[in-house]
Amino acid sequence: MWISKIRHLFSILSLFILSTAVHAKWPEIPLPKDARLTVVSDQMILNGVEMKSWAINSWMPAEKTVEFYKKTWEKPTIENAPGFVESAFEGWHIISRLEGDYQITVQLDDSVLQTTKGLVAISKLPALKNPPAIGRGFPKVGEMQFINDIKAVDQNKKSRTIVARTTASVKKSVEHYRRVYKRKGWEEQTHQFAYEGQNKFGLLFNKRGKELNLTITRTSDKTDIVAVLVDY
């Protein structure tokens, strides 16, 4: 998932989180000629970090797009630091740059060479010394570790996606969430949704304009849980 790839970039540029300047507005994204941006999410919070994201498309070859950003971002914004950081991660060519308290990230699909196809994100770097707590309010089962907590608004539709890992089995997790959400007044709409033996199970709940989709999958000695809550 592209969101997890953007999250990975924060660790790459963690040495840059030194700026004290505050921008009143989000920075503008420089674009090559004929490039087009399409909104993916104009309001997102990834593990406490405010973000905006777009899809970028152009008939320009990806190599030329990379050259454009290298040239545009050649001048550094922080003394004794590069103007940009370039890296590769799981099929993406990534270029990132700091603009005051914001980080701009351009990641291009390595499998597309003759044109440009990818994603652009702007992240507001947190001023907190300690990372924010994630997974708050989500009921735990077994020994649970929260990996991602993503809040987004898309066309006035609010969503929250939680990715977690637990020591509890699929069966125990299913029983736990059925019990918890029934007690909270949610109506189950599963109807054997996404059931695949003992290693994978999906749960679907509804409650007054809200929908909760849980996918519970056994991997090795752990159980992965993805919860998607949508408020219509």
pLDDT given for residue 190 in this prediction: 83
- What percent of the chain stands above pLDDT 90? 52
Residues in CB range of 82: below 8 A, 6 or more apart: 76
pLDDT given for residue 129 in this prediction: 58
Residues 185, 188: Cα–Cα separation, whole Å: 10
Across the range 157-186, mean pLDDT stands at 94
> Using one digit for the tens of pLDDT, what is the confidence trace for 58-84?
999 999 999 999 999 999 887 778 899
State the average pLDDT for the chain. 84
Of 8, 13, 39, nearest in space to 102 by CA? 13
The continuous run of DSSP H or E covering 217 comes out as strand 210-219
Residue 221 pLDDT > 80: yes
> Using one digit for the tens of pLDDT, what is the confidence trace for 111-170?
988 999 999 999 887 765 566 678 999 999 999 999 989 888 877 788 999 999 999 999
Residues 146, 138: Cα–Cα separation, whole Å: 10
Q: What are the DSSP calls for 92-136, one per residue?
A: EEEEEEEETTEEEEEEEETT--SSEEEEEEEEE----SSPPP-ST
In the three-class reduction of DSSP (H, G, I as helix; E, B as strand; rest coil), residue 18 is classed as coil
Of 68, 66, 55, 78, nearest in space to 125 by CA? 78
pLDDT given for residue 159 in this prediction: 92
pLDDT given for residue 50 in this prediction: 87
pLDDT given for residue 193 in this prediction: 53
pLDDT given for residue 232 in this prediction: 81
Of 171, 25, 49, nearest in space to 100 by CA? 25
